[in-house]
Amino acid sequence: MRVFIAVTILASTGYSADFTTYIGDQNPYNVAAIATDSAGNTYVTGSRFIESAPATSETDVFVTKLDPTGNILFTTTFGGKGSDMGTAIAIDPAGNIWVGGSTSSENFPLHDAFQTELGSGFPEGSGFLVELAPAGTVIYSSYFGGLMGGSSVNGIAIDQSGNLYLTGTTDASDFPTSPGLPSGMVASDALTPVSGAFITKLDAAGQHVIYSALIVGTALDCYGGSSCFLSARNTSGIAIALDPAGDAFIAGNTNTTDLPVTKGGAAGYGAFAAKINAAGNQLTYLTYLGPSSGLLEPEGPSQEITATAISADAAGNAYLAGTTDDPLFPATPGAYQTTLNTSPAFEPTPSDAFAIKLSPSGATIWATYLGGPGNDAANSISVDTSGNVWLAGTNGAGFPGTSRWVNGMAGDFVAEMSADGSALLYSQEFPGGAVGQGVAIDQNGVLHLAGNNGLISSITPSLPFASRMLGIMNAAAGQLSGRVAPGEVISIFGFGLGPANPMSATPENGFFPTSLGGVQVLLNGVAIPLLYVSASQINAEIPAPMNVMESATIQVIDNSAMLPEFHVEVDATIFAMFLNPDGSVAAINQDGTLNSSSNPASAGTIVSVWGTGFGNGDPAADGAVAAVANNWCSYCQIFVDGDGQSVQYAGAAPGLIDGVMQINFTPPTQFGVPPSQIVLDFAGLGVNGFIWVSP
């Protein structure tokens, strides 16, 4: 049984108030939510993956608090023997930290609990609530959601008296409801399961329900038949916000079309918004965000409108964000972007982010798309003191006002919409995984940002970007993080890393240099081999062998200017295959030509692919150009369409840096419809990609 663990981690102080740091440890972190306080501290929660856990993907909840300069004040982890996920976080007036989420652990650690038993939806499990003191010690811990089904707490807000406002989803038939508020029927064990979105207010101690509502729908927008009849009816609250008067607002999603829309609200499908008055005795409004009918397919609307976040201002207006591929989303005249940005090059129809402002009565004040011809989604929203709206999310090609960090790869964005929704005041793209998971604004106008892989940043929009690393990724493929592996060729992304005019390295005496264009990269104080340097990206090689499951520091030096140290964790392996922009593996056919849809490999011939991040292999990696073949991993297997087979060759890639592995294999003569799917299994890790093969 695991219990609460508080760990204090020291991080380097940045050279300005703005910072970027990685909060992971020996286990990877996945960030779900972010918050800030009046002192400018940053709080994040999410899931910490347990490497020693079995294949059930066991996770613990983590909570990390950082000071205004990015120093990690503490990280607390907690959980039981199941899967425990933090999804929501808020700070009360005393500086205590409230975290909500879901757990399947029957032995989740409890303290002064409101609910002491796991819901019967196991392994779906229960929601939970945990309160931490400002220093990270546990004050309160409880299951939440009822006993006769499963639940999840997805959003938390706290008023000036410390009362808690929760939203999420439940199919527990004993979930409490209050007179005067929606009280739909849910069922976890029926032929057709039904779940609902809850809005619940608890007292500051988390012991008493002040009011509770359950919003449920039962009608699906489909043509009938057994699949329609048996399909689950799912409604969920995603996020919650408060105005100063104590009115509670939620954003939610549903696959039903008959939620209890209030007078003046819009019929529709998908995303919805709801408000409960401060007295807790009236549903002030409930309205769908989308049109009353989408383009229908037999199983329902072919378009989607998905809410992800909500915020509220002092006047009682609500602001929602999300993603949609519906050309009928009700963007308003005069809004920044009134039509879905599509391109024939993207199939199926890509999605745009959206933002919408609702009046205190639930009427649409303005609504806008935000995106380019690629796939874009807003994951978080926050409103500043001027009424301007800040969004963080993920973006594809052509996002407005930004430039590409990695050619052909999706990134993250931060954007500011004007208070009337008519103008894009600020837009900055970041590498994918850097900032797109969450945004919170403190009273000084500083943005606190989270990437989904554990990268935390602060940005003062009125100031120039401070020179710093934003994170590291495998140069072949992957997302930004703070993790490296021995022998891995990495890409470092950031601001002010090196020369404005990019430079590529030329090996000298068979070795890549450790200084290029006035730039050095130090790993624990030792310069490492460089392949490419520029102001925003550096490609380098992590030496091998080196100690794994340990922390390390990376520091960039640009012409004697030393950027802040960046904390990294060293994994045994982070293997990835080099990919083409279309997602296919960069491969060479037996005749020496590039593999592509127009030039597939013939079944039974040899295909060569390349990867990096293989760990402490043989030979060592020290920046040398591989001079000769060395089949040092002949025992490796490659899986083609799920079938394992031996490789002809797996080892050094002659002519390339020694951190790159070449794999030669023969696609089988029997395979599915092209392209054949390829999974390379190295050291127990699967890396997905595909090549093109013809009979």
What is the predicted pLDDT for the residue at 323?
97
Are 284 and 361 a contacting pair, CB within 8 Å?
Answer: yes
> Residue 49: pLDDT above 80?
yes
Residue 409's pLDDT band (boundaries 50, 70, 90)?
Answer: low
Instruction: Determine the pLDDT at residue 263.
Output: 95
Find residue 567's DSSP bridge partners: 553
pLDDT at res. 602:
86
**pLDDT value of residue 404:** 53
Whether a cis peptide bond, with omega within 30° of 0, leads into 350 is no
Give the per-residue pLDDT at 680: 59
Q: Is 527 in contact with 538 (CB distance < 8 Å)?
A: no
pLDDT, average across residues 85-109:
96
Q: Look at 4-13, 234-243, 441-450 and tell me which has the smallest mean pLDDT.
A: 4-13
Q: Rank 54-63, 246-255, 684-693 by mean pLDDT and report only the highest.
A: 246-255
* Pick from 7-21, 357-371, 459-473, 662-676: least confident: 7-21
pLDDT given at position 678:
66
pLDDT at 301: 47
Confidence check: pLDDT of 308 > 90: yes
Percent of the chain whose predicted confidence (pLDDT) is above 70: 88
Take residue 372 and report the two structure tokens written for it.
């380019």
Is the pLDDT reported for residue 318 higher than 90? yes
631-638 own/partner pairs: CB under 8 Å, 24+ apart: 633/661, 633/682, 636/663, 636/680, 636/681, 636/682, 637/681, 638/663, 638/665, 638/678, 638/679, 638/680, 638/681
What is this structure's pTM? 0.92
67-92: average pLDDT: 96
Query: What is the rounded average pLDDT of the residues 367-389?
Result: 95
CA distance 152 to 149: 11
User: Phi then psi for 446, rounded to 5 degrees?
Assistant: -80, 135
Average the pLDDT over 481-501 and give the result. 96
Question: What's the pLDDT score for residue 684?
Answer: 56
pLDDT, average across residues 382-408: 81
389-395 and 377-383 beta bridge pairing: antiparallel
Q: In the predicted model, is pLDDT for residue 335 greater than 50?
A: yes
**Domains contained in the chain, CATH given:** 145-302 (no CATH), 305-432 (no CATH), 474-570 (2.60.40.10), 576-694 (2.60.40)
- Choose between 8 and 208: higher pLDDT: 208
Tokens of 476: 């072949």
The pLDDT of 181-203, averaged and rounded, is 92
With residue 626 as reference, give the H or E element that holds it.
none
Among 450, 427, 312, residue whose Cα is nearest residue 372:
427
Is the model's pLDDT at 407 over the cut of 60? no
Q: Give the span between the Cα atoms of 397 and 411, in whole angstroms.
A: 9
pLDDT bracket for residue 583 (50, 70, 90): confident
CB 231 within 8 A of CB 194: no
pLDDT, averaged across the chain: 89
DSSP 103-169: E--TT---BS-S--S--TTTTS-EEEEEEE-TTS-EEEEEEES-SSS-EEEEEEEE-TT--EEEEEE
pLDDT value at residue 682: 58
CB atoms within 10 A of CB 605: 12
| Contact in structure between 138 and 4 (CB atoms under 8 Å) | yes
The yes-or-no verdict on residue 3 having pLDDT over 60 is no
pLDDT digits (tens, 9 = 90+) for 609-626: 999 998 998 889 999 999
At 192, the pLDDT band (50, 70, 90 cuts) reads confident
Q: What is the edge-to-edge ordering of all strands in the sheet holding 389-395?
A: 377-383, 389-395, 411-417, 424-431
pLDDT score at 132: 98
pLDDT surpassing 90 at residue 694: no
Decide: 493 and 523 in contact? Cβ < 8 Å. no
83-97, 180-194, 544-558: range with lowest mean pLDDT: 180-194
Q: DSSP 3-state helix, strand, coil percentages of the chain (rounded to 5)?
A: 0, 45, 55
Average pLDDT over residues 667-693: 67
Segment 414-424 mean pLDDT: 97
Q: Residues 564, 601: contact at Cβ < 8 Å?
A: no
